[in-house]
Amino acid sequence: MTIVSRSFSIPSNHATQLVAALLAIVASLATPARAQEPPPPVEVRVEGVLGNEALIGDGYATVAVTVRNLTRETFRGRVLVRTSQWNQSPDRHVVPLDLPPAEQRRTLVTFFVNGSGTQIEARYEVGDALLGSTSMSSAYAPSGRSLVVLADPPRLRATLLDLQASVPDENPGYYGAATGAERAVQVPIGTITIDATTGDPIVPDDALGYSTVAVLAAQAPMLTRLSDRELDAVRRWVHAGGHLVIFPRSEGDLATPLVRETFGAVRFSETQRLAPGDFTPGSLPALECARGVTERFGCADRVGAGAVYLTAYDASAPPHVDRPELRELLRSIAQRALRDPASTRFTLGRGVDSLEQTWWDGRPSLARLRAALDPNEGYRPALGLVGIVLFLYVIVVGPLNFRFVLQRNRPTLALVSTPILAIGCATVMLVVGYLGKGVTMRYRRVEIVEAVEGDALAPTRAYAGYFLTAPSTIEVATREGGRTMRLASGGGDDGLVYDHSGERPRLTSMRGGLWETIFLRDDRVVDLGGPIRFAYEGDRLVSITNESQQPLRAAFIVDESRVYAIGDVEAGTTRPIPASAATVLSSGFGFDEEDNPTPRDIARQLGLEEDDARYVRGVLRLIGGPSPSPSEPLLWARLDPEPTVESEPSFGAERDLRFVLLHPRPRYDLLGRAAPPTTDGSVWGEPTGETPTELLPPPTNAASPDGGVP
């Protein structure tokens, strides 16, 4: 009998149904298990206070971390914000925070965001236990900075979506240098959140929180809801290069603090009206401002390195909020802010420093200054001592040693004396090298204060190298009104911990090895105590008056490579500016070249030692030359160093240099042609019965190709 084997098979449709049934059974068994998992005891939320779209990289940002206790237990823990990128160790920001039962707390944390795609994780921890967490990432912004709306409700944001501006293309070409071409970029639009309980806006409480903001468009009533510290942060941001647009909702808003301190007395004109145009949605009453420039939309004035704009109409609410004229106005202001030639060299808190020596493309590089701040790369006395010891070693081990052996008439004695002398000389070299490096913890620091003529507030940037003479874990406090970040360290630590428990953050958990240098950067806005002013005869500078509280040491002016020496200008004094140049700086290419005499000439003018020319060379490499703008004179001077910041262990100051660079106040209109002033010489002008006249004719493309921005 033949047995024929038959294979058993399930039809494909039945097989599919069987698999689906099995998956349903597994899911039904797993669902109760997941449902039984308890929720986290603490709910955590994190968001950018200027809007998540405006939380962009290469600058400081402020996030609001909100934690809510879902239990009936009191937690005594901390909020931890962890930032990380794929190629860097994470940084952690710690804020102690107690959380009562069923309560909600919010804390603001300001930190540096390295670039787009930076991961930001917010956690609430008690001891080593994680009670809740959430995360987000920074946004991508090719424009580099954003436009933020401060209004309630923020209807203006919808009008500004997909806003674009034209900026210079700074991407390197074939040979590494920027091409100088123009490109259109989309400007991120952020919106400030309003606290649902108090109705107050949630904004940064320090100027660095606005470092990635180009324009802040604010309702005047919202500015009055800010605390003194929050308003001071906005004020310092403007002085450091920010552009603030204020929309008054009523005539009473013209007397708000920021409006009065910028424009003085302001009122709506009874005789003049704005001409309809690309910035004005109709014939509207004009503004009369005691200070500043009358523009096609209202008034504007320079404030330090930034500007304040006051519109004659409420552009944040109907009927004007949806008009294309408003969009064009803010586009022009944003474009001016993104490419403002009056801005200081260092945009407040922005930019990732390059440690590469890229002299061929002319881009700013920290490599030269980093080398000057590192004792490992330039202690010449130690090198000279080691050279002398090596020379003596050759003489002692050679002629003197063999003469000693010959006198003893014992040739085998050289087998003993030579190693002893070699070990002794090696020990001497080690001692000389160690002493040459130094036996005390110390730092070298260079600060660049960029001020604008007539302004008491100035943005600054400082670089410091902290040199360790023993393996250590160090803590450094930040300076008042600023933030400190680490640039480079080879100590093998797994990221910094920024302790926010005190009034100012502290950098902790920085580990360094023997003879290692840790490099830090400070960004802040300082108050000089008063402005520094120039006096003019025509277009020529004739004198300088120092109304600040700090003396200017060895001041001089660089104008098209010519140097006009002034000397010391004590606080409260005036010094003349000579009409003839003291010297002419070299026009050689590149400040990286050691044979370029310009750094030595500037160091000599500043009253520094010849060895300090390396610091000047590093500063020139960062700012692009003795006078970054060929058509603009620049005043150089030294300021007295400040007290050393607290640190553990203590570091002494080996070299602490503070340079002040004073830019003349810009003498051009912010957005093109300005309206003529009143003809009677009074602040307000006298009302007449004549028909109101237009301040400006409608602008034409021929006069302003890009819609108003020269």
Residue-wise pLDDT for 219-257, tens only, equals: 999 999 999 999 999 999 999 999 999 999 999 999 998
The tens digit of pLDDT for each residue in 271-283 reads 888 888 878 888 8
Mean pLDDT of 25-30: 52
Identify which has the larger pLDDT, 491 or 353. 353
Sequence-separated (6 or more) residues with CB below 8 Å from residue 483: 60, 110, 111, 112, 206, 208, 349, 505, 522, 523, 524
- Report CA-CA distances (Å) from 229 to 234, 362, 661: 9, 39, 27
- Report CA-CA distances (Å) from 454 to 151, 543, 617: 31, 13, 28
- Which band of pLDDT confidence, cut at 50, 70 and 90, is reported for residue 22? low
CATH 2.40.160 fits 442-447+457-527, yes or no: no
- Which band of pLDDT confidence, cut at 50, 70 and 90, is reported for residue 698? very low
Identify which has the larger pLDDT, 531 or 434. 531
User: Mean pLDDT highest for which of 53-62, 212-221, 532-541?
Assistant: 212-221
The tens digit of pLDDT for each residue in 619-664 reads 998 888 887 666 788 999 999 999 988 888 889 999 999 999 999 8
At residue 316, the pLDDT reads 87
The tens digit of pLDDT for each residue in 147-180 reads 999 999 999 998 898 888 887 766 554 444 555 5
Nearest to residue 615, comparing CAs of 374, 450, 345, 440? 374
H or E element: which one contains 336?
helix 324-338
So what CATH class is 42-137?
A: mainly beta
Mean pLDDT of 679-688: 32
Check if the beta carbon of residue 304 is closer than 8 Å to that of residue 329: no
Q: Is the pLDDT of residue 6 over 50?
A: no
Mean per-residue pLDDT of the chain: 82
So what CATH class is 146-349?
A: alpha beta
Q: What is the DSSP string of 68-125?
A: EE-SSS-EEEEEEEEEE-TTS--EEEEEEEEE-TT-EEEEEEEEEE-STT-EEEEEEE
User: d(Cα 98, Cα 53) in Å, to the nearest integer?
Assistant: 30
Check if the beta carbon of residue 94 is closer than 8 Å to that of residue 497: yes
At residue 560, the pLDDT reads 83
Mean pLDDT of 345-361: 73
Sequence-separated (6 or more) residues with CB below 8 Å from residue 105: 66, 67, 68, 97, 99
Where in the chain do CATH 2.60.40.10 domains reside? 42-137
CA triple 404-407-413, angle to 5 deg: 60
- Which band of pLDDT confidence, cut at 50, 70 and 90, is reported for residue 376? confident
At residue 691, the pLDDT reads 36
At residue 703, the pLDDT reads 32
Instruction: Note if the bond before 153 is cis, omega within 30 degrees.
Output: yes
Q: Is the pLDDT of residue 679 over 50?
A: no
CA atoms within 13 A on the CB side of 284: 20
Q: Is the pLDDT of residue 684 over 70?
A: no
User: d(Cα 103, Cα 101) in Å, to the nearest integer?
Assistant: 5
> Which position has the token pair 């120092």?
546
- Which band of pLDDT confidence, cut at 50, 70 and 90, is reported for residue 383? low
Amino acid identity of residue 701, one-letter, is: N
- Mean pLDDT is lowest, of 25-39, 41-55, 158-172, 379-393, for 25-39
Q: Is the pLDDT of residue 34 over 90?
A: no
User: d(Cα 488, Cα 184) in Å, to the nearest integer?
Assistant: 34
Where in the chain do CATH 3.40.50 domains reside? 146-349
